[in-house]
Amino acid sequence: MSFRFAHDPIDTATARAELLDPGAGGFVTFEGWVRDFNEGREVTALEYEAFQALAVKEGARIVAEAVARFPVRHALCIHRVGRLALTDMAVWVGVSATHRGEAFDACRFIIDAVKHRVPIWKKEHYRNGDSGWVNCEACAAGPGAAAPAHGHEPAQAHGHEPNAA
Amino acid sequence: MTDGPTPASDAPRTPRPPAAPVFGLVLAGGLSSRMQRDKAAIEYQGRSQLERAVELAAKYLPEVFVSVRAGQAADPSRARYPLIVDSVPGEGPIVGIRSALAARPDVAWLVLACDLPFLSDAALSQLLAERDPTASATAFRSAHDGLPEPLCAIWEPKAAAELAAYQAAEGRCPRKFLIRHGAKILEPRDRRALDNINTPDEYHEALRSFDGEASTGMQLKIQYYALMREQAGRSDETLETTASTPADLYSELKARYGFTLSREQLKVAVNSEFAAWSHKLAAGDSVVFIPPVAGG
């Protein structure tokens, strides 16, 4: 399984071991962590929710695209669901490759595409007690390859604010 | 739709004799030759067509009879109902209709073929509400060929003599009779109600559409996530809808739940795969509206 969800803290040692390969000369990982602020607001916790039946399919497609495109030996992405505290790891991406260049590129491609294409939602809980579903911030930023597949019109997607007051 | 007949415009201005009461007549005397089996016994959702038709008619009418040929009166699936056995010579449904009119000259008959699996409450209530007792009959216009449909129609007592004369002149087609005798014709609001089933292929197609579907629309399963879940106040539901595409369905649900997101801000999945807004939905499909995502 090249993309999966975790309900408990991600076991990075096991994940790394899945990517070991005698032909690989480099290994790159990305970890996404829960940060204490977003768009000027103090964040105290995050809640992740996913439409898992579709998300695992779309996630696997992204990883397969990365492996074919760069190309690399192996790649894996694990995403948390549920309530996370500050400094918790929300997502882990690992790539092993013959050479480091492709590994960096593939890792960057996977995390960007996962954020834009996979049906995962994030609710931020703020210091003042409010909460809100985070919009797809990349809609407005619109970075290259992932944007068309994402399908949201930048201005519109950004125009709707989470229903937190 | 809006230019359909309005019953009020046909209301009598001068006193007339009260209209005859309406009884039900379900035709179950056919030979079912194209179907190659007894149509009346064919089942949908665990009940035979004959049972379904009789039960639906009995919701609206004080008495319901089953029309049979002489040789069928002892058939157990038919004998459980009050029967009207063919009493006039000839073949085809015109014989059943005439026999009922002869048996009870004082009543009008709501005649139903028993091979109308999609027959609905909407169709029967429209037929009764818009009945014109001064015409020979009140019938729907077929959505397929535009001609009157004689086997989901109300036949008035005065049609008895007219049908006898028509048959004596070698006529045997009740549809042609309706065309010539100026029946009251209704535009069916439930256009599918009159779809009949004559061949095994049509039967299997009907069965497929009954899979998780009721006669007025179809059942879909909707799952809600994130903001959509909070605004709908639920994480999933099974609902009956006439929406045929995700676009139609979202309009319906947006009106119901007041979703704040416009369709342009969403994507949609059908059966756990991304789909187009114009995707043709089928009964039992599972639909998810996908608000802007925010993984990572």
Q: Kindly state whether residues B63 and B92 are assigned to the same domain.
A: yes
Q: Say if residue B62 is in the same domain as residue B107.
A: yes
Tell me the chain B residues in contact with residue A54 when contact means C-beta distances shorter than 8 Å: 269, 272-274, 288
Encoded amino acid at A14, one letter: T
Based on the domain organization, do B195 and B229 belong to the same domain? no
ipTM greater than 0.90, yes or no? no
Per the domain annotation, does B1 fall within a domain?
no
Q: Tell me the Cα Rg of chain B.
A: 23
Chain-wide mean pLDDT for chain B? Answer: 86
CATH number at residue B229: 3.10.20.30
Domain ranges of chain A: 3-134
* pLDDT in the model for residue B203: 75
Q: Are A160 and B260 in contact (CB under 8 A)?
A: yes
DSSP bridge partners of B203: none
Contact A160 B273 (CB under 8 A): no
Q: Is A10 on the interface with B (CB under 8 A)?
A: no
In this model, does residue B69 exceed pLDDT 60?
A: yes
Based on the fold, state whether residues B205 and B240 are members of the same structural domain.
Answer: no
Residue A137 CA: distances (Å) to CA of A91, A110, A113: 17, 17, 13
Per-residue pLDDT of chain A (165 residues), as tens digits, is 699 999 999 999 999 999 999 999 999 999 999 999 998 899 999 999 999 999 999 999 999 999 999 999 999 999 999 999 999 999 999 999 999 999 999 999 999 999 999 999 999 999 999 899 997 333 333 333 333 333 333 333 333 333 332
Q: How confident is the model at residue B216 (pLDDT cuts 50, 70, 90)?
A: low
Task: Indicate the class that CATH gives domain A3-134.
Answer: alpha beta
Rounded CA Rg of chain A = 16
* Domain match, B140 and B284 both: no
- Of B96 and B171, the one with more pLDDT: B96
- The answer on B198 and B86 residing in a single domain is yes
**Last residue in a domain, options B167, B189, B209:** B209
Nearest by CB to B265, from A118, A156, A162: name it. Answer: A156
Burial class (CB in 10 A: 0-12, 13-18, 19+), B9: exposed
pLDDT tens readout for residues B12-39: 455 566 789 999 999 998 766 666 677 7
**Considering B167, B182, B209, which residue would you say is the last residue of a domain?**
B209
pLDDT at B42: 76
Determine the distance in angstroms separating the CA of A22 from the nearest CA of chain B, rounded to an integer: 30
Do residues B271 and A136 lie in contact, with contact meaning Cβ atoms separated by under 8 Å?
no
pLDDT of residue B181: 84
pLDDT at B11 over 60: no
Q: Do B244 and B201 share a structural domain? A: no
Distance CA B181, CA B155 (A): 12
Domain count for chain B, please give it: 2
* B75 and B198 assigned to the same domain: yes
Same-domain status, B265 and B144: no
pLDDT at B94: 94
Among candidate residues B54, B60, B42, the one with its CA nearest the CA of residue B82: B54
Domain of B257 in residue numbering reads as 218-290
Does B222 map to a domain? yes
Assess if residue B296 is contained within a domain. no
| One domain, residues B137 and B247 | no
pLDDT of residue A141: 36
Token pair for B88:
């006039």
A121 in B contact zone (CB under 8 Å): yes
Question: Comparing C-alpha atoms, which of B88, B110, B112 is closest to residue B99?
Answer: B88
Beta-carbon contacts of B6 under 8 Å, excluding residues fewer than 6 positions away, are none
Tell me if B295 and A123 make a contact (CB, 8 A cut-off): no
- Disruptive mutation site among A4, A49, A51, A158 for chain B (greatest number of B CBs within 10 Å): A51
pTM higher than 0.95 for the full model? no
Residues ≥6 apart with Cβ < 8 Å to A98 = A23, A24, A25, A26, A72, A73
Residue B2 lies in a domain: no
Rounded to the nearest angstrom, the gap between the alpha carbon of residue B92 and the centroid of all alpha carbons in its chain is 21
CA–CA separation, B24 vs B33, rounded Å? 25
Burial letters for A35-70: b for 16+ Cβ neighbours within 10 Å, e otherwise? eeebeeeebebbbbbbbbebbbbbbbbbbebbbeeb
Indicate if B233 and B187 belong to the same structural domain: no
For chains A and B, CB pairs below 8 A equal: 91
**CATH code for position B165:** 3.90.550.10
Residue B5 confidence (pLDDT): 44
The residues near B215 (Cβ < 8 Å, ≥ 6 apart) are B117, B118, B119, B120, B190, B192, B193
Of all residues in chain A, what percent carry a pLDDT higher than 70? 81
Residues of chain B positioned with their CB less than 8 A from the CB of A50: 225, 295
pLDDT band of B213, cuts 50, 70, 90: very low
Of B209, B236, B267, the residue that ends a domain is B209
User: Is residue B197 located within the same domain as residue B236?
Assistant: no
Chain A: closest CA distance from residue B221 (Å): 14
Answer yes or no: is B185 within a domain.
yes
